[in-house]
């Protein structure tokens, strides 16, 4: 595997945890992702190339793949992220309005706020989680991030694989995490629907161990009127998971560079970021999609 030869952004070192999963796109896959207008590249060859990389890095590897060598502009980034998504599967709406490509940027919010605020609306770090934690199962199989602009300070991504969770936690804790919790829907439910959804933290999807988590969404979910409070055992299990997240040496940390497109196994990876700070003339902007993989790639 080779890197993309990009210059680092100010304040960023060249070597980070994503270096081992960086792949420079070339041939039909690059042509398909970058061509302006209607792509004339061999879509079948591009799909096969991407599927092989996803199999190596997401299914059988650390759960993350970073494609380098793409233009770092907003329009080209949206085109690339949507085309990669459709090669891999079906783009999923990320809210009730049907948004397929969501901007991940600081909107001056915090997940401690109620309402429709999401983690992706803030600049704060920590809180390792999975995407779609506010939604009923099935969870998105994959999420993508395209880096249009990176923060000068902070904004590194952190990932922990579900296999490390299952390996490190006690059987009693794992059993509790496999029973349902109530997750706050963040106001994204349709009128008349329940404001929470019941689902376990640890479950199976596509025949593989999977995880869905964001602690504050669970805390808020169990605060709703008529929803039972978290039991002592449930709190202890969540505390044990949080302690593992905070201390595990298996957490992978890396920072996307401008023009890079990352694919993450959303069923296997808890992810978060370090806190970042925008500059007045340079604001961090990532583009995100959620993906339901093609059925022949989900067995």
What span, in angstroms and rounded, lies between the C-alpha atoms of 261 and 257?
9
Residues 224 and 270 in one domain: no
Q: Which two tokens stand for residue 227?
A: 């929803």
What span, in angstroms and rounded, lies between the C-alpha atoms of 240 and 257?
33
Residues 135 and 268 in one domain: yes
If one counts the domains in the chain, the total is 2
What span, in angstroms and rounded, lies between the C-alpha atoms of 149 and 133?
26
Residues 58 and 82 in one domain: yes
Helix, strand, or coil here: 169?
coil
CB contact at 8 A, 262 and 62: no
Letter string b/e over residues 95-122, b meaning 16 or more CB atoms within 10 A of that residue's CB: eeeeebbbebbbeebebeeeeebbbbbb
In DSSP notation, 198-226 reads EEESEEEETTEEEE---HHHHHHHTTSTT
- Residue 106: per-residue pLDDT: 84
Residues 275 and 215 in one domain: no
- Residue 126: per-residue pLDDT: 76
Is 200 part of any domain? yes
Residues 131 and 32 in one domain: yes
CA distances, 294 to each of 51, 130, 136, 289 (Å): 10, 20, 20, 15
What span, in angstroms and rounded, lies between the C-alpha atoms of 70 and 87?
16
Helix, strand, or coil here: 33?
helix
Which distant-in-sequence residues (6+ apart) come within 8 Å of 28 by Cβ? 41, 42, 43, 45, 46, 49
Is 2 part of any domain? no
Residues 117 and 44 in one domain: yes
Domain that includes residue 213, residue range: 164-245
Residues 221 and 124 in one domain: no
pTM (two decimals): 0.90
CB contact at 8 A, 214 and 119: yes
- Residue 109: per-residue pLDDT: 76
Whichever domain contains 80, its CATH number is 3.60.130.10
Q: Which residues of the chain have pLDDT under 70?
A: 1-15, 110-118, 296-299
Residues 270 and 237 in one domain: no
Helix, strand, or coil here: 237?
helix
Tell which phi-psi region holds residue 115, choosing left (phi > 0), alpha (psi between -120 and 50) or beta: left
Residues 288 and 224 in one domain: no
């Amino acid at each position: 595997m080779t890197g993309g030869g990009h210059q680092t952004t100010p304040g960023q070192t060249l070597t980070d945890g994503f270096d081992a999963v960086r792949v420079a796109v070339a041939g039909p896959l690059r042509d398909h992702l970058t061509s302006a207008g209607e792509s004339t590249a061999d879509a079948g060859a591009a799909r096969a190339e991407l599927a092989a990389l996803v199999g190596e890095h997401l299914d059988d590897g650390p759960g993350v793949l970073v494609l380098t060598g793409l233009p770092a502009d907003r329009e080209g980034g949206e085109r690339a992220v949507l085309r990669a998504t459709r090669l891999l599967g079906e783009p999923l709406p990320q809210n009730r309005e049907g948004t397929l490509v969501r901007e991940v940027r600081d909107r001056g919010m915090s997940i401690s706020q109620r309402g429709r605020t999401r983690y992706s609306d803030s600049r704060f770090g920590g809180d390792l989680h999975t995407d779609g934690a506010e939604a009923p199962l099935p969870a998105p199989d994959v999420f993508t991030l395209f880096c249009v602009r990176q923060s000068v300070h902070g904004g590194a991504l952190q990932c922990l694989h579900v296999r490390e969770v299952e390996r490190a936690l006690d059987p009693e804790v794992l059993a509790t995490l496999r029973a349902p919790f109530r997750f706050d829907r963040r106001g994204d439910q349709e009128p008349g629907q329940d404001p929470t959804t019941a689902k376990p933290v640890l479950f199976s999807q596509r025949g593989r161990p999977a995880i869905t988590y964001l602690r504050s969404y669970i805390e808020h979910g169990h605060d709703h009127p008529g929803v039972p409070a978290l039991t002592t055992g449930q709190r202890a299990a969540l505390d044990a998971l949080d302690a593992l997240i905070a201390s595990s040496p298996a957490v992978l940390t890396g920072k996307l560079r401008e023009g890079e497109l990352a694919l993450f196994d959303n069923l296997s990876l808890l992810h978060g970021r370090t806190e970042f700070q925008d500059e007045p003339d340079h604001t961090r902007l990532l583009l995100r999609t959620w993906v339901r993989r093609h059925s022949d790639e989900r067995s």
